[in-house]
Structure 1
Amino acid sequence: TNSSSIAALLHYFLVVVQSAPVSSSNLSPAFTQASNRAKMLVEKILRDIPTVHGATVSTEGLTLDPSTQTTNLQMMVASLGIPAAPVLKPPSERFTLDVCVSRMSAGSQLYQGLLGVLSNSVSGLSDLQADLRDLLTHLNKMKEEAQLEVVDQDLSLDLARRLHGNYEVQVAVHLSLTQLRSFCHDLIRSLRAIATYRRPAAAAH
């Protein structure tokens, strides 16, 4: 069933990543620089989403206003097989920096993949795709600088075969942009927390 396949995807998508020790509890200037650049890019994506939505979604009733979200739209999330973004929290001993950056990367990959599929049916998404690709570059730099033991998730999407007509495409674009906006808000909160985060002394070797 759709629900069981989505559940299986999410289980794989949110796989627990083990934390690896790093050489120092302080994050390097290069890590901080990559984090700041990532944050600036996420802020740009957030600014651009309303414009992109306006240019790509013309179906009446599909707006970025949360009050317009209906039960029917939530059902469409399941029927189209659009996964939820991974949950982000500020890094802590329980929610390690490794897991935090891993989920940032996984979510960015998810939306880059979704927009890639949808770009085959609608124009106007390429700039956001490019920004997400650049964001992944900065997140990868953060991984390298902090020597994070992060597992990349390759989430295969079966969205393409569910897009039977223009209405499904419009709803899929709307839902993807709406979820991307929410994920970007979480990204900014996490990146702000990372900027002031220092690993516990026990994590430094």
Structure 2
Amino acid sequence: MAALVFLFWPDAQPEPDPPPSLSLVDSDVDREENVAADIVLVITKAGVRLSAVREAGCPRGGGLADVKAQYDIKVPLDAKAGAVLTRKMKYSLPPHSQERVAFTVGPEHFYEGSQPWIYTFTITIHAADGSKVTVPEVTYLSPLKGASGFLATARYAVAHPNGGHMDPTCVSRQARSVAQLVKAAKRPSPELTEFSEELTRISGQ
């Protein structure tokens, strides 16, 4: 899972008909290991608007055991494109200072043996004075545990096409589909790009 890191600049005091008191200075799609996954966040609310949701994987054998996932923005497994998810926040920005804020996005629940999800979305940050900023769209892979498990099973399936765990032709279809998605994405996460590259290598395309 990657993390979204935003940099904000607030105005010192509200004035009559002021410009928005919260502005986006910069944003980046960074690795989760470089930021805290569930820190105290800024302002009053964040809203995530999903423009695409898809599972990246192929049918395979094996049972599933429920494991609770810990994410900043938790996406229900039945979420569809167009859904808006909100997260309440409580944080005070010091006047004339810059603050970096990090989010993670991932499934509300995942299972041992489940496969990764790819989310395309924007995040809007709402301040107490009514101002807001929207971060440009990103495309994001989560959870990484699911991605690693899928790649391992895909390697075995391609090396042992009669092993029965996964259809190698499905691996090839997923490799092409994910590669096309990454190419079209405005800002793919580093892990999604690496996942696509490794899946393409495994499939031999």
Q: TM-score scaled by structure 2?
A: 0.30
Greater RCO between the two (CA within 8 Å, min separation 6)? 1
Q: Whose strand proportion is higher, 1 or 2? A: 2
